[in-house]
Chains A and B, each alone.
Chain A
Amino acid sequence: MEHHVIPIKTYVIILVALLCLTAATVTVSFMPISPALHMMGAIIIAAVKTSLVVLYFMHVKYNDHVIWAYAGLGFLFVIFFFIILLGDYVALLNSLSPSTYAEPFDLF
């Protein structure tokens, strides 16, 4: 039986990092940048926070490759889903009403 026991110090560092990233995501939302960048910023920061939780709190960093694969699997399919579905809506609404909905590549 070998279970990797992570030192408390590591957990504390991760918690501090998560709190800092929370502060960062709040800060970003108050910055005057384009809506698309807002969304990107929010998602990227949330993704970083998620990876920290998954790797350390959920011990994936110390697990075998099968667990790595399954930890990534759900997120991978969410990304597929996101790109195709949102890509479809952006292209569709833009083609129906270009004045209201931005060009797919002009969102930034």
Chain B
Amino acid sequence: MSVAGHALDGHSGNHHPEIRHQFDDLTQQHETYTLGMWAFVVQEIMFFSGMIMAYFVFRYKFFEAFVDASNHLNIYMSTFNTVVLLGSSFTMALAVRAAQLGQKDRLVQFMVATLLLGGVFLGVKGYEYNDKYQNNLIPGYNFEWTTSSSFGTYSEGADHVPLSASSGAPINYADFETQVSVFYGFYFILTGFHALHMVVGAGIILVLMWLSWKDHFSPEYYVPIEMFGLYWHFVDIVWIFLFPLFYLIDRYHSLGGH
């Protein structure tokens, strides 16, 4: 409990230059920042959850279209990207460890590695986006789905439109191409927001690298490094969910069976 950490007189005792005036000591400051960062992460989780919930609704409504669209995404690149991002999370964890131990050189090295891996991820992502652009798969801009019903059992047409049990009127006006465009819409929105978080993270890590190089951090004070670590791992977690949700919907269809 932090209350024990309060000194009677707030301005006496530990006079580390990095203690802000509202804190009594480094322990209290560290605990407070950690909790604040976690509250921020909770906020981020809810931010992405709204989009993921919407995704699930459409996945249930337009299941065949989602399977079809998902099977056309590039599984090799996405798996490679997953490995890259897990690797960058790993190097970031090691960077925080180096900061804890005051190993300045290793701290900077691991942050460079994290940045490079993040850059590789974004590069591959950019390549994928460009691929979608070349194939006219940008919803709202130029969208054509010529490869529908490639798995045999699902076909575009009247039997695909669900009819109301009471009136017999079609409930779902969206045709197969529109349904696929909804998938791609969510694909771009969610991976786009994820990539945006990574770009912001890359900017922050550059600043932190410079500060580490200037001996700004010590084993007593490395709060920014640790907070950034939490952020970076969170971005990793988002990808851990996005990867199976977009790239791995019932992949066995692409093996030809159903």
A–B touch (CB < 8 A): the answer is yes
Name B35's contact: one of A56, A66, A85 (CB within 8 Å).
Answer: A66
Q: Whole-angstrom distance between the alpha carbons of A31 and B101 in the complex?
A: 45
- Flag whether B240 is at the interface (Cβ < 8 A): yes
11 contacts between A and B (CB under 8 A): A5-B97, A5-B101, A18-B86, A25-B244, A31-B252, A32-B257, A50-B240, A57-B90, A85-B56, A96-B164, A97-B171
* Complex contact B90–A11 (CB within 8 A): yes
A15-B86, A53-B89 known; A73-B42 Cβ under 8 A: yes
- Flag whether B255 is at the interface (Cβ < 8 A): yes
* Complex contact B165–A98 (CB within 8 A): yes
B-contacting residues of A (Cβ < 8 Å)? 1, 3, 5-6, 8, 11-12, 14-15, 18-19, 22, 25-26, 28-32, 35, 38-39, 42-43, 45-46, 49-50, 53-54, 56-59, 63-64, 66-67, 70-71, 73-75, 77-78, 81-82, 85-86, 89-90, 93, 95-101
- Flag whether B251 is at the interface (Cβ < 8 A): yes
Top-3 shortest CB links A-B: A74-B45, A42-B244, A100-B162
A27 to chain B, nearest CB (A): 10
Name B42's contact: one of A28, A64, A74, A82 (CB within 8 Å).
Answer: A74
Q: Whole-angstrom distance between the alpha carbons of A30 and B67 in the complex?
A: 12
A48 to chain B, nearest CB (A): 10
- Contacts A63-B34, A82-B56 aside, 9 further interface pairs with beta carbons under 8 A come to A5-B100, A12-B90, A22-B79, A42-B245, A58-B230, A59-B96, A89-B57, A97-B165, A101-B60
A63-B34, A78-B46 known; A85-B53 Cβ under 8 A: yes
| Size class of the B contact interface (CB-based, 8 Å) | 35 or more
- Flag whether B83 is at the interface (Cβ < 8 A): yes
* Complex contact A93–B244 (CB within 8 A): no
A58 to chain B, nearest CB (A): 5
* Complex contact B49–A19 (CB within 8 A): no
- Flag whether B216 is at the interface (Cβ < 8 A): no
- Flag whether B82 is at the interface (Cβ < 8 A): yes
A14 surroundings in chain B (CB, below 8 A): 90
B240 surroundings in chain A (CB, below 8 A): 46, 49-50, 53
**Between A and B, how many residue pairs show CB distances below 8 Å?**
155
A23 to chain B, nearest CB (A): 9
Interface residues of B in 120-167 (CB under 8 A from A): 162-165
B240 to chain A, nearest CB (A): 5
A87 to chain B, nearest CB (A): 11
A74 to chain B, nearest CB (A): 3
CB closest residue in chain A, given B247: A29
Interface residues of B in 218-249 (CB under 8 A from A): 219-220, 226, 229-230, 233-234, 236-237, 240-241, 243-245, 248-249
* Complex contact B35–A22 (CB within 8 A): no
- Flag whether B41 is at the interface (Cβ < 8 A): yes
* Complex contact B250–A93 (CB within 8 A): no
B205 to chain A, nearest CB (A): 16
* Complex contact B38–A71 (CB within 8 A): yes
B26 surroundings in chain A (CB, below 8 A): 1
A30-B255, A38-B249, A54-B237 known; A45-B244 Cβ under 8 A: yes
* Complex contact A8–B46 (CB within 8 A): no
